[in-house]
Amino acid sequence: MSMKIKAKASGGVVKAKMMIKHPMHTGMVKDKKTGKKIPAKYIQEVVVTANGKKVFVANLNTSISKDPFLSFEFKGKAGDKLEVTWKDNTGATGKGETVVK
């Protein structure tokens, strides 16, 4: 699954935005063709580090929509390396990175 990350610094504060391509199935919706419930598959945790230090942690659940978009701010500067990792309820993981502009 893919991920888009953007981060821009201004006045010692970094504004970061990310979108993670993920179906975010709740386990409550039925497949239109088969009539059976689609198994739950949703992101449970997102962790963001800047130069190896945690700056953002989100614990998500089934109430988050498909392809979740997250936005947050932290103290930082241009050139900081952001790394994003996520894990879903099935054990699948993903990661992405960017450099703050």
Q: What pLDDT does 14 receive?
A: 98
Q: Which of 81, 80, 90, 96 is nearest to 20 (CA)?
A: 96
Q: Which of 98, 86, 94 is nearest to 14 (CA)?
A: 98
- pLDDT tens digits for range 23-45: 999 999 999 999 999 999 999 99
Which residues lie across from 94 on neighbouring strands?
86
**Alpha carbons 60 and 42: distance in angstroms, whole number:** 8
Amino acid letter for position 59: N
Q: What pLDDT does 1 receive?
A: 63
Q: What domains can you pick out in the chain, each with its CATH number?
A: 3-99 (2.60.40.10)
**Mean pLDDT, to the nearest integer, of 53-78?**
96
Q: What pLDDT does 9 receive?
A: 98
